[in-house]
């Protein structure tokens, strides 16, 4: 019996993994490739969302000025240091469109002053969403907001501050409610700084990183839930392969990402039990070519990172389609997760031997 389970469970895992990783290839215009598994209201919504996304992709390039305005925002002109409003210039970039899926939607993106968050802001701007961006560096946020308005955002504003401050999450949600009267999507993406190195024994750093990378995500989601329940909206949590598989040199960071999986995967189940139609998408990312990631790990990890622009679009897509998890880049992340369930020790040993250990700095 034990042997049977040992063989059957990995086989079942492999079959399921194959099914899910081949699923996007099954998508075709006007028909949802996941239709077979649709049944619940949430799944139905995901299929409708998928059809909408496909329509958006096929309409890419079409200009539309008839965008929807959110409650309390029609024609509002942003004022004050943290505000910006749409100027509605057509974007010359390939993704510019009258996006159906996110056009006029009210979206918060945290950690939007650089990297993947900045790229998500630009994609959402091209899709003509209303944007509220957060990070610490005001000057960077101002530039990103300006660019978003040039790209066609329905409106764009920011709030600057550190997410280790307990009052910021509520302040951000108050701003969304006062400005828009609601919220459709919350994208949790920011991270505090953490070195790629042996654990130094600095417990204070772990505590602070937990506040920034985990507790603030919980606080933002908690404050957003009443608004998201009303709009039947989405929470998108940007995590990492380090939140599924613990490698060396990332102990504090990895701990915060594992915590996100535990919290949000549990919360997702509770929402389903309560028949609350708010989706939670957990994004499991591999190595992406953001400046901070390349600076932190390129001397140790010889791999080629995936492009942040594509990664950002995949995150938005997964959220819009109300997917449970995104694995990006799918082949690398998918095969690592599969190997973890089949042979975890082999995976760990392969990971260790692929690092340039001589370049790891001890602090």
Ligand X SMILES: NC(=O)c1ccc[n+]([C@@H]2O[C@H](COP(=O)([O-])OP(=O)(O)OC[C@H]3O[C@@H](n4cnc5c(N)ncnc54)[C@H](OP(=O)(O)O)[C@@H]3O)[C@@H](O)[C@H]2O)c1
Per CB under 6 A, residues contacting ligand X are 111-117, 135-137, 140, 162-164, 189-192, 212, 238, 240, 285, 287-288, 290, 292-293
d(Cα 97, Cα 99) in Å, to the nearest integer?
Answer: 5
Provide the CA 92 distance to its chain's centre, in angstroms.
25
CB of 69 to ligand X, least distance (A): 27
Contacts of 268 (CB under 8 A, 6+ apart): 280, 324
Can you tell me the distance from the alpha carbon of 153 to that of 124, in angstroms, rounded to the nearest whole number? 7
Backbone angles phi, psi at 238, to 5 degrees: -85, 115
Q: Are 125 and 131 within 8 A, CB to CB?
A: yes
Residue nearest to ligand X (CB): 115
Cα(197)–Cα(194) distance, rounded to whole angstroms? 9
Closest to ligand X by CB, 112 vs 321, is 112
For the chain, how big is the Rg over CA atoms in Å? 21
Q: How many CB atoms within 10 Å of residue 156? A: 29
Q: How far is the CB of 263 from ligand X (least distance, A)?
A: 15
Smaller CB distance to ligand X: residue 42 or 116?
116
Distance of alpha carbon 172 from alpha carbon 191, whole angstroms: 17
Query: Least distance (Å) from ligand X to the CB of residue 192?
Result: 5
Nearer to ligand X, 222 or 292 (CB): 292
Least spacing, CB of residue 132 vs ligand X, in Å: 14
Question: Any catalytic annotation for residue 253?
Answer: yes
Other CB atoms within 10 A of residue 1 CB: 5
Which of residues 26 and 137 has its CB atom nearest to ligand X in the complex? 137
Shortest separation between residue 346's beta carbon and ligand X, angstroms: 22
- DSSP conformational letter for 285: E
Q: How far apart are the first and last CA of the chain?
A: 49
The answer to whether residues 159 and 134 touch, using CB atoms and an 8 Å cutoff, is yes
Distance of CA 260 to the CA centre of its chain: 12
Which residues are CB-neighbours of 256 under 8 A, at least 6 positions away? 191, 209, 210, 212, 213, 214, 243
Catalytic-labelled residue, pool 122, 253, 287, 328: 253
Shortest separation between residue 308's beta carbon and ligand X, angstroms? 7
Nearer to ligand X, 41 or 292 (CB): 292
Half-sphere exposure of 261 (CA within 13 A, CB side): 19
Q: Which amino acids are annotated catalytic?
A: 253
């Amino acid at each position: 019996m034990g042997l049977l389970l040992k063989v059957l469970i990995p086989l079942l895992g492999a079959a399921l993994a194959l099914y899910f990783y081949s699923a996007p290839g099954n998508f075709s215009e006007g028909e949802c490739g996941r239709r077979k598994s649709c049944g619940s209201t949430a799944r139905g919504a995901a299929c409708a969302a998928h059809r909408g996304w496909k329509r958006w992709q096929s309409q890419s390039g079409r200009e539309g000025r008839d965008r929807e305005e959110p409650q309390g925002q029609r024609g509002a002109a942003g004022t004050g240091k943290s505000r910006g409003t749409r100027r509605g210039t057509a974007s010359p970039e390939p993704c510019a469109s009258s996006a159906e899926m996110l056009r006029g939607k009210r979206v918060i993106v945290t950690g939007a002053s650089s990297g993947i968050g900045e790229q998500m802001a630009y994609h959402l701007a091209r899709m003509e969403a209303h944007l509220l961006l957060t990070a610490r560096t005001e000057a960077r946020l101002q530039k990103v907001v300006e660019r978003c308005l040039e790209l066609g955002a329905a409106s764009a504003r920011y709030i600057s501050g550190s997410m280790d401050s307990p009052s910021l999450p509520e302040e951000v949600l108050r701003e969304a409610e006062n400005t828009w009267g609601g919220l459709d999507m919350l994208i949790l993406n920011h991270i505090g700084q953490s070195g790629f190195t042996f654990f130094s024994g600095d417990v204070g750093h772990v505590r602070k990183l937990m506040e920034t990378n985990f507790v603030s995500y919980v606080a933002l989601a908690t404050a957003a839930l009443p608004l998201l329940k009303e709009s039947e909206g989405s929470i998108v949590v940007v995590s990492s392969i380090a939140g599924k598989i613990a490698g060396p040199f990332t102990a504090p960071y990895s701990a915060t990402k594992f915590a996100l999986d535990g919290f949000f995967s549990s919360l997702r189940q509770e929402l389903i039990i309560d028949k609350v139609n708010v989706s939670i998408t957990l994004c499991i990312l591999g190595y992406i070519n953001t400046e901070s990631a390349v600076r932190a790990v390129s001397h140790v990890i010889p791999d080629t990172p995936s492009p942040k622009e594509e990664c950002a679009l995949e995150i938005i897509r997964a959220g819009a389609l109300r997917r449970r998890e995104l694995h990006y880049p799918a082949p690398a992340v998918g095969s690592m997760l599969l190997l973890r369930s089949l042979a975890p020790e082999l995976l760990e040993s392969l990971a260790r031997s692929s690092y340039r250990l001589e370049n790891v700095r001890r602090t």
